[in-house]
Structures are given as structure tokens and as C-alpha cells.
Amino acid sequence: MARSKKPKLGDLVRVDWVDSVLETTWKTMELLCDSTSVCESTGWLIRDEDEFVTVAGHKDAQCENYHGVVTIPRCAIKRIRKIEEAT
């Protein structure tokens, strides 16, 4: 399988990243979550900075409007892959 190229702005991407877990109720030590949350976000790469990337889940095809935007710190990112469109 060929390696995908480094994604550039505007590419459709999948970001694999790790998030914190927040316990919102009282629990005993045995019931506490013992790991972080592994996340996958898919969308258009709209920012690619040294400290973070920003992905938009939706975009207006007629103008530069985005919705469902998530900014992910670089330190949490495990992998970013460009999604190749089917031909």
C-alpha cells in the first residue's frame, strides 16, 4: 500500500488523537477510568500550526464557511492521514 502524502490545507483528513477523561460523579478507586480516550476526527484541514491543527467536519461548498470545527493540540495527536478520494 502506498503511503499518503503529508496533508495540506484543504485536504480531507483523519486525525487520531488522545483526549482526557473527566469523571463527573463520585466513584471508588476501583471504578475510576484507568486510561485516556482515543479519538478519531475526520474533516477538512483548515489550520496546521506548530502547536495545533484544526479540522472542520462541514464546509459550505459555495464559500469559506465551516461548522463542526475542532482544534487539537499537537501533543495529543498520534497520526494525521490524508483521505484519498475514490476515483
* pLDDT at res. 87: 66
pLDDT > 70 fraction of the chain, expressed in percent and rounded: 93
What predicted TM-score, i.e. pTM, was given to this entire model? Answer: 0.82
Contact 16, 77 (CB under 8 A): yes
Range of the domain at 53: 12-82
What's the average model confidence in pLDDT over 59-79?
Answer: 94
- Note whether residue 3 is domain-resident: no
Other CB atoms within a 10 A radius of the CB of residue 46 amount to 17
Query: Is 23 domain-assigned?
Result: yes
Is residue 66 one of the residues assigned to a domain? yes
**Does residue 19 form part of some domain?**
yes
Residue 1 in any domain: the answer is no
Residue 29 in any domain: the answer is yes
**pLDDT averaged over the chain?**
90
3-state secondary structure of 76: helix
Residue 2 lies in a domain: no
When divided into structural domains, the chain yields a total of: 1
Interval 10-42: pLDDT, tens: 999 999 999 998 888 888 888 888 788 999 999
Whether residue 7 lies inside any domain: the answer is: no
Q: Which of 57, 45, 36, 51 is nearest to 13 (CA)?
A: 45
